[in-house]
Chains A and B, each alone.
Chain A
Amino acid sequence: MAPHPDGVGVSARDRILGRLRAGPAVAPVPLPDVQGWIQARRRDEGRAARVERLRAALLAARAEVHDSSEAAWPELLGALCVAKGLRTLLVGTAAESQRQRHSGLPAGVRVLDCDTPADAWRQRLFGDVDAALTRARSAIADTGSLVLWCGPGEPRTLSLVPPVHIVLLATDAIHADLPAALQSEAWPQGLATNVVLASGPSKTADIQQTLAYGAHGPRQLVVILLHAHMDAL
């Protein structure tokens, strides 16, 4: 057996594995047919149908869904900030250009970029940040899940700590189900250190089975769907 790099718990490890290996011989268990199950669930649907399934699932989970496009979303964002009274907006740098991030915002809204030196935004994360804007890598129609691929441009706390999470999603990145996302994006070959499937605002039913939103994460999840052609709607 390979020597244990940490040098601690060596014997515990060997004893546990030893006991498992000494277990009774059971009939060989073949690899279950997961692919068969995945194939059987495949549905024949167009992109529009998939978008609508995602929308329905998100709405059922009490997320907000808006339609826009790459060109038009800054304006929508500005309108949302006004409507919701959001004054300080924390922004990830994943895909948004500096110009886009600021262009549509009304004068009263301050933008905190998370790529500022010394991570000044982190000091304010639990303070006066009203909302965060991030971009989802993709989404899953079946369960209404946004795939948040956290990384240098998309810190994990952005989609977690501020009370409102606004997320951009390109409609050509919507998968039918989780197996499809896993397969077509080749997750097994390379995951970010932190990948989150987020399917609505934070919630709990821990008090007398009564559903309450905004338990620890965002109270509001606002999804902006970016359609390639707005006129296709």
Chain B
Amino acid sequence: MRPDAGRQAGEQFAWRSRQAVADTAQRINFRSAMDFLQEKRRAQFPDDAELAQLRDLGAALRGYSLAHLPRLLEQLEARCRQNGMQVHWAETAAEANTIALDIAQRAGARRIVKGKSMVSEEIGFNHAMQAAAIEAIETDMGEFIVQLAGEAPSHIIMPAIHKTKRQIAALFAARIPGAPYTEDVDALIQIGRQALRREFERAELGLSGVNFAVAETGTLCLVENEGNGRMCTTLPRVHIAITGIEKVVERLDHVPPLLSLLTRSATGQAITTYVNLISGPRRAGERDGPEEVHLILVDNGRTQAYADAALRATLQCIRCGACMNHCPVYARIGGHAYGTTYPGPIGAIVSPHMLGLEQTYPLAFASTLCGACSQVCPVRIPIPELLVQLRNAAQARASQGAAMLRGAGAARRPLVSAAWRAWSLLYGRGLLYGVGTWLMSRGRALAPVRQGAWTRCRTPLRPAPRRLRDLLRRGRPQTPIAK
């Protein structure tokens, strides 16, 4: 690690955040989108007691899956194989891409149609395919828009949430051959539909994510509204499903409560238009469906989170995005400012395991710890507690226990650490505290006028002329303090 890598990451994040906050149009987009999604979710959970009970169950189910993760992964692998799928394991993003590329090349694929998959974003799949002259085409409307614009998704559920229909109208007119300029949303969607139908027809390979992988039956569960997920997993000769190792659940009857939590929390829908249950390639006699189905199980830092009993809860996540929809920081700076594949509160707690704390610790500090995220989290991840734990790890001495986290200590500043050591020394000993505060109250004139970031928008801090203990010794104040 370069000694200044951490500082740079912090400065870049601050710079991106300032840019985002200054962009009024984008802030309006995010604010209205967040209000919309919050309201949709609220309408789905009219009964607080039902919600609380369902969240308890969701948390218990995810906790159970994680507690039995190695066994369930082995069971999933065995059942998927019995169903005729091929199962692959990848420790890193690069390994996952190598596996996918190998499958694509053996299939003679020149085009890959993609259903929405955040793991594919996480591993830089499109880029890796491009480098091998294979075109990866996003087919979720939001992802398609973002890819056409050469951008990254700014939200894990609604990737193009930062764009207005005007911007999309201009984008389509400029980038899709033959597309007229129109701001009519129906017309825009039909333009996208036509453009992508050509790709579905001719792509040799389809890639999708996975929402739940069922160990008991070897089934991949995929939720979507558009039907592009069905296209990608039905039409091409080869289907690759890619997922993090944490997505496994033991039994098929564990899916309904989690599914209900996912769609209601994410988009405020009782269910998505399509729920796909995929249990293997086409069987004899079937007239369509892929001939090969591959499942790639990706670690990419997840085992690091798993190794810590508290941080393990990070892996309970079912990627609904409710935490970002309710986060006051996300609503103001938007998804791109985070600079990571997963933005918002979940991004702040999951990204350090994928990218290391050097690059990502500023995200853990970009929170007021207001707790809105954990209040809506359908699987009760204690996000603020985990943020605090990551802050501590980022500031810990590399030799301490937190060293098991990649990049631990990246935010450690000698002066800051020394100041806190002095503070704890002073406040932990009565006599020393007395002497220290006496000296401070006498030397208050020496308090610096410039106090770094504090005085950028606040008056400087100065010790009081009389210590509290001196005031108390004099008895009751003559005038009541503050009316």
Contacts and interface: CB of A to CB of B under 8 A. Distances in A.
Q: Residue among A20, A40, A195 with the most chain B CB within 10 A?
A: A20
A107 B215 CA distance: 51
Nearest to B297: A16
A182 B139 CA distance: 30
Interface in A28-50: 28-35, 37-38, 40
Contacts, number: 256
Given A152-B285, A197-B271, A216-B196, A12 B89 contact: yes
Interface in B132-159: 139-142, 145, 158-159
A20 to B, nearest CB: 4
Given A24-B309, A157-B288, A215 B225 contact: yes
Contacts of A29: 60, 63-64, 67-68
Contacts of B235: 157
B475 to A, nearest CB: 54
Contact of B308 (A24, A151, A161): A24
B189 A150 contact: no
Interface in A190-219: 191-210, 212-218
Given A17-B70, A17-B74, A191-B219, A37 B57 contact: yes
B336 interface: no
Q: Name, among B91, B251, B259, the residue most crowded by chain A CB atoms within 10 Å (CB to CB).
A: B91
B81 interface: yes
Given A24-B307, A143-B270, A204-B225, A209 B275 contact: no
B61 A206 contact: no
B185 A212 contact: yes
Q: How large is the interface on B (under 10, 10 to 19, 20 to 34, 35 or more residues)?
A: 35 or more
Interface residues of A, number: 79
Interface string B208-240: 000000001101000001111011011100000
B170 interface: no
Interface in A1-43: 5-6, 8-9, 12-13, 15-17, 19-24, 26, 28-35, 37-38, 40
A214 to B, nearest CB: 7
A207 B234 contact: no
Contacts of A208: 29, 163-165, 168, 185
A122 B289 CA distance: 12
Contacts of B230: 156, 160, 196, 216-217
Contact of B158 (A152, A199, A206, A214): A206
A79 B254 CA distance: 43
A43 to B, nearest CB: 13
Contact of B251 (A30, A152, A188): A188
Nearest to B69: A20
A65 B77 CA distance: 41
Interface string B252-292: 11111101000000010011111111111111011111000
A21 to B, nearest CB: 5
Given A22-B307, A24-B309, A205 B267 contact: yes
Nearest to B58: A32
B160 interface: yes
A34 B273 contact: no
Contacts of A24: 307-309
Contact of B231 (A192, A195, A216): A216
Contact of B217 (A13, A188, A205): A188
B119 interface: no
Contacts of A61: 273
B33 interface: yes
Interface centre among B36, B189, B253, B307 (most CB of A within 10 A): B189
B81 A207 contact: no
A194 B145 CA distance: 29
B201 A126 contact: yes
Given A182-B252, A196-B276, A201-B273, A26 B309 contact: yes
Interface string B32-74: 1100110000000000000001100100110110011110011
Contact of B252 (A5, A20, A187): A187
A32 B61 contact: yes
A9 B297 CA distance: 11
Nearest to B188: A207
Nearest to A93: B287
Contacts of A200: 273
A122 B200 CA distance: 13
B438 to A, nearest CB: 47
Given A178-B256, A207-B160, A209-B36, A20 B70 contact: yes
B245 interface: yes
A216 B227 contact: yes
14 contacts: A12-B90, A20-B69, A20-B303, A31-B64, A34-B61, A150-B286, A152-B287, A179-B256, A196-B275, A199-B273, A202-B274, A209-B32, A209-B37, A218-B227
The 3 closest A-B pairs by CB, nearest first: A217-B227, A206-B142, A215-B226
Given A6-B87, A143-B270, A199-B275, 15 more contacts: A9-B95, A19-B303, A20-B303, A32-B60, A32-B61, A155-B289, A193-B282, A193-B283, A194-B277, A195-B276, A196-B230, A196-B274, A202-B225, A208-B29, A209-B33
